[in-house]
Amino acid sequence: MEYDKFNLDEKLLRAVAISISEGVGIDFIDARKQLNTYTKNSSPTLIWDLINSNLRKRLGEDYACIYKKQRGIWEFLLIVDKKSKKVITIMRENRLKQIIKYPFKNKKHYTAALALLNEHLKPRQRKLMNIPLNREDNDFLQELSQELCSEIEQNMLTESLYCILSFKSSSGHMTTFGANYLTKNLEISEAISLNDFIPKKNYDTIVADTEKPEDIQDIPLTLKPAAYIKKQAKEEAETEQSIEIKTTQNKVSTEDAANGDK
């Protein structure tokens, strides 16, 4: 499959990037101020409601269709890019990495069902062993895929690829944006950086009011004792080196000043 088959409509990408950027930033801040809740337990889901609402408003019917889908208590949007003929969902980058890292744990996730649209795509890196899904799982995914795509025109669906637009944010700022195409085995086939589409707006005056919602979801990895000792030693060595450089620079500056006086 040629690279241009992975391209997406730029107008749609800009609309999605703005919807996410404002959803995690200014819209979230405004919503929090209006709600004025004593606790902040709803932050992650509130952000998604804001992003999805922005997408619904911004993606015009002339180049995209939006369908609201539900899996359990979770509601998400299925976007169809009419121009590029892509079926699209939006996801946090960290969640996408979890799905790719643990494909069998997520084998009945909606992304696995939609990834069946990419059955002809090959993974970027081949695994030594690939355990196929059993018949029951395969049947479940086929039915779920048909259910999720039931409203999409069949002639468009036969030519479509499934794409995940992923993002990362921190302190009210959208920091990464990318397009990801998975194989039916939930392996990366193509990953394209879209960081150039991130809006270059300055939210410095309002970021101080954010509750840093990304911190709720991004849990740092716990280091093992040996790794922690190694990390500490490296940081101490870098600190000592920095002190030595500054001491040398100060000494040189003093000598230069003295020679200048002469």
Cα 97 to Cα 188: distance, rounded to the nearest angstrom: 10
Cα 90 to Cα 76: distance, rounded to the nearest angstrom: 8
| Token pair listed for 191 | 């990953």
Of 43 and 133, which is predicted with more confidence? Answer: 43
Confidence of residue 203 (pLDDT cuts 50, 70, 90): low
Question: From edge to edge, which strands make up the β-sheet containing 188-193?
Answer: 64-71, 74-81, 86-92, 161-170, 173-182, 188-193
Residue found by looking up tokens 């990495």 in the block? 97
Residue found by looking up tokens 């300055």 in the block? 202
Sequence-distant contacts of 195-199: CB under 8 A, at least 24 apart? 197/10, 197/13, 197/14, 197/16, 197/17, 198/17, 198/21, 198/174, 199/17, 199/18, 199/21, 199/174
Of 234 and 122, which is predicted with more confidence? Answer: 122
| Torsion of Cα atoms, 92 then 97 then 102 then 105, to 10° | 0
**Res. 213: pLDDT tops 80:** no
Confidence of residue 182 (pLDDT cuts 50, 70, 90): very high
Residue found by looking up tokens 């800009």 in the block? 14
Lowest model confidence (mean pLDDT) among 15-19, 25-29, 61-65: 61-65
pLDDT digits (tens, 9 = 90+) for 31-61: 989 988 888 888 889 999 999 999 999 998 7
Please give the average per-residue pLDDT across 74-79, as a whole number. 94
Give yes or no for a contact between 143 and 207, defined as CB atoms under 8 angstroms apart. Answer: no
Cα 81 to Cα 64: distance, rounded to the nearest angstrom: 5
